[in-house]
């Protein structure tokens, strides 16, 4: 969020214009540079905040300035799953906006952060797949649900695996037993990603790749 000199929040469409200017400037030096926004709601803040983020997406995606509209990629929600409402608590609002927002000639895409838990009773993965998520951030819990693994493969959903984060936060003590090591044998697509580098104090994905390559015995072909 941006604020003006009077500490008032800048309208979202003006934020988009500011971002567009920065992207344009970067593309002068690096023409192949691309940038997209996945607007992310904080579940811990509550329903009104989630609705506000969805309204921002609608405002940006429906802008008459197509160069602003093309910055919007879709929607996500975050926060620790064991202590915040499940995706289902916001599903009605999400479905309503999905039906009302078009991005790249399709309903509003979702890229849900979910499955970062050991709780078998958490249904965030089920809800995310039902809502048509394109990717799943973490998806650690997926190994518990073989039927969901089949749906993930069938719908071509990529799991954004964050090995170092999972180890630092205690979801796994040894990367050799990380669920991705099993899921990739089942043909589940995944990426090796970083998570909260600002908090953990490292940059990029090199360290994640180094650890994952050794622990999961990845070949050059696997990495490609």
Model confidence pLDDT, tens digit, residues 6-36: 556 779 999 999 999 999 999 999 999 999 9
Identify any residues that bridge with 137 across adjacent strands, giving them in sequence order. Answer: 113, 160
pTM of the model: 0.89
Q: pLDDT tens digits, residue range 72-123?
A: 999 999 999 999 999 999 999 999 999 999 999 999 999 999 999 999 999 9
Helix-strand-coil split of the chain, %, nearest 5: 50, 15, 35
Quote the CA–CA distance of 120 and 82 in Å, as a whole number.
11
Catalytic residue ranges:
116, 138
- Report the Cα 65 to chain-centroid distance in Å: 26
- Asked whether the beta carbons of 37 and 19 are under 8 A apart, the reply is yes
205: tokens are 């994905």
- CB-side neighbour CA atoms (13 Å) of 127: 21
In the CATH scheme, what is the code of domain 36-223? Answer: 3.20.20.140
């Amino acid at each position: 969020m941006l604020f003006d000199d009077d500490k008032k929040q800048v309208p979202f469409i003006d934020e988009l214009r500011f971002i567009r200017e920065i992207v344009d400037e970067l593309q002068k030096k690096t023409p192949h540079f691309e940038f997209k926004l996945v607007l992310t709601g904080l579940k811990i803040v509550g329903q009104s905040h989630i609705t506000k983020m969805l309204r921002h997406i609608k405002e940006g995606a429906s802008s008459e300035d197509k160069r602003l509209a093309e910055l919007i990629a879709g929607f996500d929600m975050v926060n620790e799953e064991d202590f915040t409402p499940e995706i289902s608590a916001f599903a009605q609002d999400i479905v309503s906006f999905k039906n009302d927002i078009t991005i790249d000639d399709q309903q509003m895409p979702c890229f849900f952060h979910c499955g970062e838990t050991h709780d078998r009773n958490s249904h965030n993965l089920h809800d995310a797949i039902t809502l048509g998520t394109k990717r799943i951030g973490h998806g650690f819990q997926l190994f518990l649900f073989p039927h969901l693994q089949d749906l993930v493969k069938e719908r071509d959903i990529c799991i954004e695996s964050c090995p170092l984060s999972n180890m630092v936060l205690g979801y796994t003590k040894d990367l050799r037993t990380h669920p991705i090591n099993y899921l990739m044998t089942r043909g589940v697509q995944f990426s090796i990603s970083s998570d909260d580098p600002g908090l953990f104090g490292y940059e990029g994905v090199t360290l994640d790749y180094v650890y994952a390559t050794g622990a999961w015995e990845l070949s050059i072909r696997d990495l490609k």
